[in-house]
């Protein structure tokens, strides 16, 4: 994984000795292993940490501390969907252990393998040739197609999400959230909501496993090859309309050139090669 880590932030510190003893009991560490722990700069919703021992390394994702909203930060869902995908041969970090005992580090957590490879934090892939960008984005689309080709039943994930009617539920939820938070009436937002409800996909009853946050920086590529070796961050995964993942991947292409919602997702407009790649 991308090893840009920092010292563990104060609000996320936990008892390292207790974790080390627990992992040695679970045979992930030897009794005499001395471990160091650092925190990834990404994974803000569910804090993510790199555990390094002399001969092995792991990644830990945990619930954040404090009072949480009901249904939020469900690391158990992440663990179970990754386990199902790993067993099906889909490229995800191997999930190794899920712990609900909050006495260990203060919150529920899970451990997965540490996958070493390339993560591109800028979706425009600066510094790469058009040919390299093409190969990487083709690999991204291929792994997305592989995800959507897996049946929910074969993964034994029935009941993982609400299934059919995904797009309608999404638009309805966004509309309710907007209206609940709005401080004044914005006609354009009302028009947008109405337009979306009138232009839902004809096949909104199609159901596959949906990643929910499928973008280039949630993919780990092989160190030298244009090949995805792991898809990460399954927190928003569910079952629903597969085109939602593709639309999310393509979304930056349609943004104005000066719009940058988050640091890793700016507009693709004017970036050589990306228009041809993504709309081919």
* pLDDT recorded at residue 3: 59
* pLDDT recorded at residue 277: 54
- For the chain, domains (ranges, CATH) are 5-113 (3.30.200.20), 130-164+206-278 (3.90.1200.10)
Residue 267 CA to residue 220 CA, distance in Å, equals 22
Picking from 94, 243, 101, the residue whose alpha carbon sits closest to that of residue 170 is: 243
Q: What tokens appear for 133 in the block? A: 């960008």
Distances (CA, A) of 159 to 152, 154, 246: 9, 13, 23
- Pair type for strands 228-231 and 219-221: antiparallel
Residue 150 CA to residue 231 CA, distance in Å, equals 15
* pLDDT recorded at residue 17: 94
Give the SS3 label for residue 11.
helix
Low-confidence ranges of the chain (pLDDT < 70): 1-3, 43-44, 66-72, 257, 259-280
For residue 228, the surrounding DSSP H or E stretch is strand 228-231
* Straight-line distance from the first to the last Cα atom of the chain, in angstroms, rounded to the nearest whole number: 29
Contacts of residue 28, Cβ cutoff 8 Å, sequence gap at least 6: 56, 58, 96, 97, 111
Count CB atoms within 10 A of the CB of residue 194.
12
Report H helices in the chain: 16-25, 75-87, 130-149, 166-181, 187-198, 243-250, 274-278
Helical packing angle, 243-250 and 166-181, nearest 10°:
50
* pLDDT recorded at residue 68: 59
* pLDDT recorded at residue 225: 97
* pLDDT recorded at residue 259: 64
* pLDDT recorded at residue 70: 57
Asked if 143 contacts 218 with a C-beta cutoff of 8 angstroms, the reply is: no
CA-based torsion, 235, 95, 8, 17: positive or negative = positive
Picking from 38, 17, 39, the residue whose alpha carbon sits closest to that of residue 29 is: 17
Q: What tokens appear for 94 in the block? A: 């191997």
Q: What tokens appear for 182 in the block? A: 């709005």
């Amino acid at each position: 994984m991308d090893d840009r880590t920092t010292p563990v932030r104060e609000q996320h510190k936990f008892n390292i000795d207790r974790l080390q003893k627990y992992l040695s009991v679970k045979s992930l560490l030897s009794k005499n292993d001395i471990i160091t722990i650092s925190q990834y700069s990404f994974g803000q919703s569910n804090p993510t940490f790199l555990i390094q021992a002399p001969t092995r390394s792991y990644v830990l994702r945990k619930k954040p501390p404090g009072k949480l909203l009901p249904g939020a930060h469900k690391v158990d869902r992440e663990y179970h969907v990754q386990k199902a995908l790993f067993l099906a041969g889909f490229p995800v970090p191997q999930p190794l252990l899920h712990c609900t005992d909050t006495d260990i580090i203060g919150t529920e957590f899970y451990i997965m393998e540490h996958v070493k490879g390339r993560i591109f934090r800028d979706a425009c892939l600066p510094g790469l040739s058009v040919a390299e960008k093409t190969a990487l984005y083709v690999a991204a689309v291929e792994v997305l197609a592989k995800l959507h080709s897996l049946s929910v039943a074969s993964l034994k994930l029935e009941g993982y999400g609400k299934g059919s009617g995904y797009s309608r539920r999404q638009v309805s939820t966004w509309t309710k959230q907007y209206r609940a938070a709005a401080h004044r009436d914005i006609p354009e937002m009302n028009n947008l909501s109405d337009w979306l409800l009138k232009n839902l996909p004809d096949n909104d009853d199609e159901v596959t496993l949906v990643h929910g946050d499928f973008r280039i920086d949630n993919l780990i590529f092989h160190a030298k090859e244009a090949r995805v070796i792991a898809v990460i961050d399954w927190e928003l995964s569910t079952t629903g309309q597969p085109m939602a993942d593709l639309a999310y991947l393509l979304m930056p292409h349609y943004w104005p050139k000066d719009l940058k919602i988050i640091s890793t997702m700016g507009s693709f407009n004017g970036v050589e090669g990306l228009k041809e790649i993504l709309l081919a």
